[in-house]
């Protein structure tokens, strides 16, 4: 297989490419393989593995189709670890921060971010559309990988020059209208698929400004290659499905094994004698009495398929371990996760998923810079302010497994070295360090007024 057949597709065009029906047709055709790739990855996440479609040449043989949802497990665990507690936005200007938080809260950013992170874990990429609604509010909308076609410049910068959103409109009369919205750095151009004679062509029906300084599409990339978290272990998932299904088939073969009788020719269940009576033969008697009688030299045994259990189980165990090792996602059912592990031991076991999340974080922050820039331009225009989007610090709070006792000891040892806010930030159960510090200072002030010292526990 050539590299081009497995590498995600990227459309690159000259900056001055005109927006017309030819552009849309070209991009849809060029992205056809990518749409099929997204369909396959989404199907695996929903446990629609290829084993479900397995057909044997002999349909009389057992054909078990055992599906293992490794794809869903890998994406869910990777997403929960990376985005479990969401994204935090910090800036020294409290009014600016409150305005950002208000916009994000109004757009349900916590849940939206999680869904975007899950989609990019499954298909390698997800999208967020920024727009100004009819009421003049800054809004965002999440889109899946197969709903947007990004188009990059073929120049050395390779920046996003436009994006196409494909969607359909189902009407109550049963007809379906298909649309394509092209987002450039200045406007939104809407096309509708219309019939012209025996052909279908994309007709432009509207143009309008989106009121932003750049293409209002945020691209969430899972990694440099835009590949899903379980995409590289898909063949191992298929191998494990087949191995388990074939093991079940072998058990069915055993259940359907033939009884082979030696030295006995009386194997029919019933036989009519000359006088019209029906005599019961041995096989029928065996079913009733669970007993067989043989003449001297007779014997019986089951004809079954010999199975090398040890080799089979070793093979399946190797595949099982490779799936977790190569996907960098920990197997939380592993016995080595049990017990009161030290912080160092936990970090060692989570090293793979931490590195996986660090790569996701790098590309997420890069995309978030564009979102903050466009959002801040909107705020400055609306309020007449001069906020600087570069002053906003974006941080991620991992859903880590931590040894809280060790962390509390470390916090206590750092009391005379670091600021109290920094120490509070070390504790994973605290979501907002500043809020916790304000609460602590408030309690301390009350205690001093009452003449009793505050109780401090690290």
pLDDT tens digit sequence for 300-351: 776 666 666 788 889 999 999 999 999 999 888 776 665 566 666 777 778 8
Largest Cα–Cα distance of the chain, in whole Å? Answer: 115
Within 8 A by CB and 6+ apart from 171, the residues are 177
Mean of pLDDT over the chain: 85
pTM of the model: 0.79
Task: Select from 152, 315, 186 the least CA-distant residue to 246.
Answer: 315
Tokens of 185: 């750095």
Indicate whether 117 pLDDT > 80. yes
Most confident of 191-200, 405-414, 416-425, 449-458: 191-200
| Residues pairing with 430 in the sheet | none
Q: How far apart are CA 95 and CA 100, in angstroms?
A: 9
End-to-end C-alpha distance for the chain, whole angstroms: 57
Helix (H), strand (E) counts: the chain: 14, 15
Q: Burial code of 230-259, b = ≥16 C-beta within 10 A, e = fewer?
A: bbebbebbbbbbbbbbbbebbeeeeeeeee
Radius of gyration for the alpha carbons in the chain, expressed in angstroms and rounded: 32
Indicate whether 130 pLDDT > 70. yes
Alpha-carbon separation of residue 338 from 52, 328, 332, 341, 346 (angstroms) = 35, 19, 9, 8, 11
Q: Which of 186-190, 242-246, 298-302, 310-314 has the lowest mean pLDDT?
A: 298-302
Torsional sign, CA 349, 351, 356, 357: positive
Asked if 64 contacts 255 with a C-beta cutoff of 8 angstroms, the reply is no
Task: Select from 97, 115, 117 the least CA-distant residue to 361.
Answer: 117
Q: How far apart are CA 155 and CA 137, in angstroms?
A: 35
Residue with tokens 């219309």: 194
β-strands 299-303, 258-262 pairing: antiparallel
Q: How far apart are CA 428 and CA 434, in angstroms?
A: 14
């Amino acid at each position: 297989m050539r590299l081009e057949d497995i590498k995600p597709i990227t459309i690159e065009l000259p900056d001055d490419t005109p927006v017309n029906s030819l552009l849309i047709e070209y991009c849809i055709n060029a992205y056809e393989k990518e749409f099929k790739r997204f369909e396959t990855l989404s199907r695996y996440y929903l446990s629609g593995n290829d084993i479900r479609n397995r057909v044997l040449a002999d349909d009389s043989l057992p054909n078990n189709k055992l599906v293992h949802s490794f794809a869903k497990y890998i994406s869910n665990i990777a997403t929960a670890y990376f985005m479990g507690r969401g994204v935090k936005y910090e800036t020294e200007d409290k009014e600016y921060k409150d305005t950002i938080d208000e916009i994000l809260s109004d757009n349900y950013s916590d849940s939206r971010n999680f869904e975007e992170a899950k989609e990019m874990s499954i298909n390698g990429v997800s999208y967020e559309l920024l727009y100004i609604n009819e009421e003049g509010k800054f809004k965002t909308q999440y889109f899946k990988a197969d709903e947007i076609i990004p188009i990059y410049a073929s120049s050395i910068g390779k920046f996003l020059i436009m994006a196409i959103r494909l969607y359909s409109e189902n009407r109550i009369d049963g007809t379906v209208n298909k649309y394509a919205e092209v987002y450039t750095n200045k406007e939104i151009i809407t096309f509708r698929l219309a019939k012209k004679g025996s052909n279908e062509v994309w007709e432009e029906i509207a143009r309008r400004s989106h009121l932003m300084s750049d293409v209002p599409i945020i691209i969430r990339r899972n990694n440099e290659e835009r590949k899903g978290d379980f995409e590289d272990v898909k063949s191992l998932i298929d191998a494990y499905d087949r191995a388990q299904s074939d093991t079940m088939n072998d058990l069915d073969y055993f259940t359907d094994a033939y009884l082979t009788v030696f030295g006995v020719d009386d194997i029919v269940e019933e036989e009519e004698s000359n006088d019209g009576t029906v005599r019961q033969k041995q096989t029928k008697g065996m079913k009733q009495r669970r007993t067989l009688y043989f003449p001297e030299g007779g014997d019986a045994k089951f004809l079954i398929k010999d199975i090398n259990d040890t080799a089979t189980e070793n093979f399946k165990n190797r595949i099982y371990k490779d799936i977790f090792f190569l996907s960098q996602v920990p197997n939380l059912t592993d016995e080595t996760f049990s017990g009161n592990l030290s912080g160092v031991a936990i970090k060692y076991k989570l090293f793979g998923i931490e590195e996986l999340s660090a790569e996701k974080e790098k590309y997420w922050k890069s995309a978030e810079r564009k979102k903050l820039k466009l959002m801040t331009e909107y705020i400055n225009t609306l309020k007449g302010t001069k906020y600087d989007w570069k002053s906003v610090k974006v941080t991620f709070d991992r859903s880590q497994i931590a040894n809280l006792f060790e962390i509390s000891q470390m916090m206590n040892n750092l009391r005379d070295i670091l600021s109290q806010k920094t120490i509070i930030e070390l504790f994973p159960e605290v979501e907002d360090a500043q809020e916790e510090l304000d609460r602590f200072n408030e309690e301390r002030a009350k205690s001093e007024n009452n003449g009793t010292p505050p109780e401090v526990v690290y």
